[in-house]
């Protein structure tokens, strides 16, 4: 069996269509809990539109749910570097770090995410 053809065919499937069509395909995969497939679609989309937060955040979430935690962390760090008050990215970064057992690093991100969302502990 020619694995080169399969890889090329498979890659072509995930890269096929307009950015809007690929965004929709990625969301369908994500909603179906096919996180690795969603990530395969989103990688190319993020490369095309690196300035857009939505595809990168969904890519980070797909990585998180498919246990690709270092990749999720890298994408989330890019988001919060560009937009320090993106509270959901902060929350996801904190959870990603926690899941890696890096609780001390996670704490500040989780506290900041709570503050940005308006969740303050009662005195």
Q: What is the pLDDT of residues 41-90, one digit of tens each?
A: 999 999 999 999 999 999 999 999 999 999 999 999 999 999 999 999 99
Confidence category of residue 103, pLDDT binned at 50, 70, 90: very high
**What pLDDT, on a 0 to 100 scale, did the predictor assign at position 17?**
85
Residue 21 has pLDDT above 60, yes or no: yes
**What pLDDT, on a 0 to 100 scale, did the predictor assign at position 47?**
93
**What pLDDT, on a 0 to 100 scale, did the predictor assign at position 2?**
45
Q: Tell me the pLDDT tens digit for each residue of 2-14.
A: 444 344 555 677 7
Three-class secondary structure assignment of the chain: CCHHHHHHHHHHHHHCCCHHHHHHHHHHHHHCCCHHHHHHHHHHHHHHCCCCHHHHHHHHHHHHHCCCHHHHHHHHHHHHHHCCCCHHHHHHHHHHHHHCCCHHHHHHHHHHHHHHHCCCCCC
**What pLDDT, on a 0 to 100 scale, did the predictor assign at position 5?**
39
* Contact assessment for residue 66 and residue 39, using Cβ atoms and an 8 Å cutoff: yes
CATH numbers and ranges of domains, the chain:
3-117 (1.25.40.10)
């Amino acid at each position: 069996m020619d694995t080169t053809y399969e890889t090329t065919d498979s890659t072509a499937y995930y890269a096929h269509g307009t950015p809007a069509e690929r965004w929709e395909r990625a969301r369908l995969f994500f909603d179906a809990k096919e996180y690795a497939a969603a990530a395969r679609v989103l990688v190319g989309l993020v490369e095309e539109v690196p300035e857009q937060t939505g595809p990168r955040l969904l890519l980070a979430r797909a990585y998180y749910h498919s246990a690709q935690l270092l990749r999720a962390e890298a994408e989330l760090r890019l988001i919060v570097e560009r937009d320090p008050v993106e509270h959901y990215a902060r929350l996801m970064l904190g959870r990603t770090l926690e899941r890696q057992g890096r609780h001390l690093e996670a704490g500040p991100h989780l506290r900041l995410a709570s503050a940005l969302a308006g969740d303050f502990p009662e005195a």
